[in-house]
């Protein structure tokens, strides 16, 4: 079976069904320990204030599902699992603080860009679903409409962009461009409408609030060192303790290979 972005989410089910996964789930030596990631809090976190740390995992537990990584993916998965079945014991283990990865370091731009492989309306459905979630959970993350300015530095770039013109885009005059960015470096620009923006750190903090309110158990400063297949269950290993569970969801984004996991194109 190939693991890709879509079916990686099925990893727990796959692991339970496929003992051959054991070799792939061995730990690797590249795990970042809490004090070793450079960068510190993100700009967004510095602007909005840091949240108090949640406890680290000190004792071993048994859970229904263990989620590795506390960014948007891990927290959203945890929230929806609890919404679907409140009795599930869901644990999130985060190596640093929630949002220490891309989830508090992004630009906060929101738009329906990536279409599904076999479903062109996938992105629009996703955006609508996200808006519904923000409203139903009263999420405060400064979500608001925004325009995008596309800048082209020479005529060949401008022509290429003109060949790929979308209905929600409008070219602006050279004078207006110079006034807008106080520079004459760029030769042309167009404005795209129908976008949104938000504050990434506020969104993360709201996901944390909602996850905790649903009874998700979250541990910070708890790097997962490896995931081992143990007969009928999975064993998630940390420095001080283990979590035995039926399913593991890796929400470790670009850090995933450091856990010894394959992503795209890995055959198991």
Opening angle at CA 115, ends 82 and 120, nearest 5: 105
Total chain residues near ligand FAD (CB under 6 A): 28
Residue 14 CB, shortest distance to ligand FAD, in Å, is 19
- Which residues, in sequence order, are bridge partners of residue 3? 266
Between CA 89 and CA 216 the distance in angstroms is 7
Q: What's the number of CA atoms in the CB half-sphere (13 Å) around residue 201?
A: 14
The interface region with ligand FAD, picked from 52-60, 106-114, 122-130, 183-191 by CB under 6 A, is 106-114
The interface region with ligand FAD, picked from 153-161, 185-193, 229-237, 247-255 by CB under 6 A, is 247-255
Residue 47 CB, shortest distance to ligand FAD, in Å, is 16
Residue 159 CB, shortest distance to ligand FAD, in Å, is 27
Q: Which is nearer to ligand FAD, 11 or 223 (CB)?
A: 223
Binding pattern for the stretch 50-89 against ligand FAD, x by CB under 6 A and - elsewhere: ------------------xxxxxxx---------------
What the block records as the tokens of 104 is 């508090």
Q: At what angle do helices 72-84 and 200-213 cross, to 10 degrees?
A: 30
Q: Which is nearer to ligand FAD, 78 or 224 (CB)?
A: 224
Residue 110 CB, shortest distance to ligand FAD, in Å, is 6
Backbone angles phi, psi at 49, to 5 degrees: 95, 140
CA distances from 88 to 144, 198, 218 (A): 34, 31, 14
Backbone angles phi, psi at 176, to 5 degrees: -65, -40
Between CA 82 and CA 88 the distance in angstroms is 6
Find out whether 74 and 92 touch, Cβ atoms under 8 Å: yes
Residue 25 CB, shortest distance to ligand FAD, in Å, is 13
Residue 141 CB, shortest distance to ligand FAD, in Å, is 13
- Please report, as ranges, the residues that interact with ligand FAD according to CB under 6 A: 31, 68-74, 93-96, 100-103, 105-109, 223-224, 251-253, 255, 259
């Amino acid at each position: 079976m190939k693991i890709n972005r879509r079916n990686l989410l099925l990893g727990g089910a796959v692991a339970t069904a496929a003992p051959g996964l054991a070799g792939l789930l061995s730990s690797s030596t590249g795990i970042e320990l809490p004090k070793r990631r450079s960068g510190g809090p993100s700009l967004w976190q510095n602007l909005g204030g840091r949240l108090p740390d949640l406890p680290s995992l000190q004792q071993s537990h048994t859970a229904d599902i263990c989620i590795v990584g506390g960014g948007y993916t891990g927290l959203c998965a945890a929230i929806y699992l609890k919404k679907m079945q409140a009795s599930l014991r869901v644990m999130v283990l985060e190596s640093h603080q929630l949002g220490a990865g891309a989830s508090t370091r992004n630009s906060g731009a929101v738009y329906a860009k990536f279409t599904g492989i076999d479903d062109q309306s996938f992105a629009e459905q996703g955006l609508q679903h996200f808006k519904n979630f923000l409203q139903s959970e009263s999420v405060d993350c400064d979500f608001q409409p925004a325009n995008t300015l596309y800048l082209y530095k020479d005529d060949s770039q401008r022509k290429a962009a003109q060949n790929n013109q979308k209905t929600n885009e409008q070219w602006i005059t050279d004078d207006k461009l110079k006034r807008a960015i106080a520079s004459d470096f760029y030769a042309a620009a167009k404005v795209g409408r129908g976008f949104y923006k938000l504050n990434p750190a506020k969104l993360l903090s709201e996901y944390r609030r909602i996850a905790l309110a649903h009874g998700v158990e979250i541990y910070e400063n708890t790097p997962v060192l490896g995931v081992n297949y143990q007969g009928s269950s999975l064993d998630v290993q940390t420095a001080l303790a283990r979590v035995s569970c039926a399913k593991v969801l890796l929400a470790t984004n670009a850090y995933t290979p450091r856990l010894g996991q394959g992503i795209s194109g890995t055959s198991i």
